[in-house]
């Protein structure tokens, strides 16, 4: 109520965003003084950081998380570049080697002056996060005859099999993942969609869990979650 505007007649009060820059400065002059004083006292005079943080908090409060994420990326200097997982998919789908991708990354950055593609080390980190064995987990109660070590990534698919030339060619390459680690990876991959679905059903109070996951074994042995 302290800041409520009293219109003494005349034209109706215009919305802030519809004003000219000069009129916006005039209307916000008192708020600007307060923000400047706070920034100088608490944040070393960084007015921009204070204003962007206020905007970020306002977006989060309105559940506009996508726009808030974009703003946060700008604040952290990442700009509107592609996500490392997207860059990884581009590299794989276009059959680019690591050296070819690195050359493209450097060329685009030099020409545009922006980091649109992510460096190779970011792609390698994204790749690890997409593979089973990256996320720690535990079974309650523990599974019988299953190691409690969760850092199990790619496994040689032929390990544990008796070597016989009659069974498969000598140059056969097989890769597999431990079943429980692969399930955890699939759940983490679907985590964002699951949480968005809960928000759509107005279940925000339950977003922090805990969750019960029911795994139904299908006839082909691959499993349905």
Between these two residues, 218 and 71, which has the higher pLDDT value? 71
Residue 170: what pLDDT?
60
Percent of the chain's residues with pLDDT above 70: 79
Whether the Cβ atoms of residue 198 and residue 206 lie closer than 8 Å to each other: yes
**Could you tell me the pLDDT band of residue 38, with boundaries at 50, 70 and 90?**
very high
| C-alpha torsion angle, residues 187, 193, 196, 201 (rounded to 10) | -80
pLDDT at 34 over 90: yes
Percent of the chain's residues with pLDDT above 90: 8
**Could you tell me the pLDDT band of residue 225, with boundaries at 50, 70 and 90?**
very low
Domain residue spans of the chain: 18-75, 84-130, 133-225
pLDDT at 163 over 50: yes
Between these two residues, 71 and 110, which has the higher pLDDT value? 110
Helices first, then strands: H and E counts in the chain: 9, 2
Rounded to the nearest integer, the mean pLDDT of the chain is 78
Question: 62: left (phi > 0), else alpha (psi -120 to 50), else beta?
Answer: alpha
User: 45: Cβ–Cβ under 8 A, 6 or more apart, which residues?
Assistant: 39
């Amino acid at each position: 109520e302290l800041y409520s505007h009293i219109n003494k007649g005349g034209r109706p009060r215009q919305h802030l965003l519809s004003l000219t820059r000069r009129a916006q400065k005039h209307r916000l002059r008192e708020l600007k003084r307060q923000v400047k004083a706070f920034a100088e006292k608490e944040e070393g005079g960084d007015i921009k950081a204070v204003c962007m943080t206020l905007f970020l908090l306002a977006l989060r409060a309105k559940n506009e998380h996508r726009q808030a994420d974009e703003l946060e990326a700008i604040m952290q200097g990442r700009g509107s570049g592609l996500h490392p997982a997207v860059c990884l998919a581009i590299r794989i789908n276009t059959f680019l080697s690591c050296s070819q991708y690195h050359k493209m990354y450097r060329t685009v950055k030099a020409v545009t002056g922006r980091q649109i593609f992510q460096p190779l080390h970011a792609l390698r980190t994204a790749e690890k996060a997409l593979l089973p064995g990256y996320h720690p987990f535990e079974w309650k109660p523990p599974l019988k005859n299953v190691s409690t070590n969760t850092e199990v990534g790619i496994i040689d698919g032929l390990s544990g099999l008796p070597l016989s030339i009659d069974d498969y060619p000598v140059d056969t390459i097989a890769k597999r993942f431990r079943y429980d680690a692969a399930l955890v990876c699939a759940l983490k991959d679907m985590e964002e969609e699951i949480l968005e679905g809960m928000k759509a059903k107005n279940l925000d109070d339950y977003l922090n869990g805990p969750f019960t996951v029911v795994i139904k074994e299908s006839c082909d042995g691959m499993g349905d979650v």
